[in-house]
Structure 1
């Protein structure tokens, strides 16, 4: 997965988040479903941003960005804990 692939995925996830919020505003989905789906999107976005940071850090260090791997949701979400 290239940096451009990751950025395209982030763009897709952000668009899905906006779509979800629009549906919630027009009551096309219930608040419980909205929160659950937003939570899932946020985790996916965090994983993408983490992968992008890993790739850039590897490039800055002179190592292969291709060795960067997607971290688990638990790992990415637990960084601040």
Structure 2
């Protein structure tokens, strides 16, 4: 396996994780609207899922940017929640 296909495989794994988290987020949001809110544990889990999604998207963007500019995408790293959550869109 060459470096490009290895990087693509890692990106696919990140995307799979994103898809899993999105499904969980949707389920929690649906449960919220169906039951007029979420319990404290579910609210905490929803917040955790949102943060993890932001971290995954950030990591994927880092990897793609490094690949685009000829750098090693494996040097990309998950950033801390406070850093990722502090981005202005």
TM over 0.5: yes
Partner of 1:64: 72
Structure 2: which 5+ residue stretches go unaligned?
A: 1-8
State the TM-score, normalized to the length of structure 1: 0.84
Contact 1:47–1:70, Cα closer than 8 Å, also in 2: yes
Which piece of structure 1 moves more, 4-13 or 34-43? 34-43
Q: CA deviation at 1:58?
A: 0.2
Name the Cα RMSD after superposition: 2.1
Q: CA deviation at 1:33?
A: 4.4
SS in 2 for 1:55: helix
Which piece of structure 1 moves more, 16-25 or 32-41? 32-41
Which piece of structure 1 moves more, 15-24 or 60-69? 15-24
Ranges of 4+ aligned residues in structure 1 off by more than 2 Å: 28-38
Aligned length: 80
Structure 1: which 5+ residue stretches go unaligned?
A: none
